[in-house]
Amino acid sequence: MAINLLQVKQFSKLFRVALLLASGLLLTACISSQPFPTGVLVAPPAPTPMTRPPQIGQEWVYNVRNVFNQEILDVVTERVIAVGDQVRIQRSGLKAGSLPDEIQGPWGYVIQDPHWSPPQKLMTPLPLWPEQLTVGWNQFYRSAYQVLGYPDGNYYWGLGMNAMQWELIKVPAGEFLTLQYHNQIPFFESNDYFRISNIRQEDVWLAPQIGRWVIRRGFGRYLTRGVFWINPYWEDYLQWELISWK
């Protein structure tokens, strides 16, 4: 169910600023060598481009990089293998081998999301990119997920999405016109009993012409009992960069 709540958006912004200030020294020390992706700001295109529809055989290949030290952890290939009421994207890593599929239904709304760890099966499909490719568009969604392969537990998941700006941005695959948007997942419920508070956030550069993002950069942090937000635990901090597509 979609809820457009100004108060939720404002709280999300304030929380994000406070959290970054609290951990500013850690961020400076750890990730100064991995700059935040920047492109050339451009005016919103008119007419607004349509996102490429899926077809069997479409493929995207990404370097998956550790933001902290710039190490390339894997090269992941994602390929459309089925189109219909649901769209299935088969995934494999050069090092990891076979990875869980991504399932959308309809196109642009994820049902099975393998991006986060552990992979999720969502009870209500959620958009993978803004429903309107318009700067300033924002929405907050509430859903629940199951851990893939473990149907006995349901866990709360809330997603705030905000379309930020249009950019021309370069990646190894070339230069693309992209809509940059920010995702915030505040205080979701983890399947890990020992985690008492969890947040995730990411920035995504969607290229409508290829029907997928060219950069996706995100991380998560969490608390256990006796741990506070001034020094939380970190999940992986990863950046996906497109190196080829078809």
Condensed to tens digits (0 to 9), the pLDDT of residues 150-208 reads 999 999 999 999 999 999 999 999 999 999 999 999 999 999 999 999 999 999 999 99
Question: Band of the pLDDT at 71, cuts 50, 70, 90?
Answer: very high
- Specify whether the CB–CB gap between 180 and 149 falls below 8 A: no
Q: What does pLDDT average to over the chain?
A: 90
Of the listed ranges 23-32, 54-63, 234-243, the one predicted with least confidence: 23-32
Arithmetic mean of pLDDT, 44-54: 97
Q: Which residue has the tokens 């500013």?
A: 24
The secondary element (H helix, E strand) that includes residue 61 is: strand 59-66
> Could you give the count of Cα atoms lying within 13 Å of 220 in the half-sphere of its Cβ?
19
| H or E, element range at 14 | helix 6-22
The domain segmentation of the chain, as residue ranges, is 2-52+59-75+129-245
| 173-188 pLDDT tens trace | 999 999 999 999 999 9
CB 174 within 8 A of CB 183: no
Instruction: Return the pLDDT at 32.
Output: 46
Q: With contact defined as beta carbons under 8 Å apart, do 178 and 26 qualify?
A: no
52: pLDDT strictly greater than 60:
yes
Q: Alpha-carbon torsion 208, 38, 185, 59, what sign?
A: positive
Nearest to 113 by CA among 140, 87, 131, 95: 87
pTM metric for this prediction: 0.87
Q: Which has more confidence, 22 or 145?
A: 145
pLDDT value at position 3?
47
For residues 173 and 209, the answer to whether their CB atoms sit within 8 Å is no
Query: Coil, strand, or helix at residue 173?
Result: coil
pLDDT of residue 5: 43
Q: How many Å apart are CA 210 and CA 62, to the nearest integer?
A: 13
pLDDT beyond 80 at 27: no
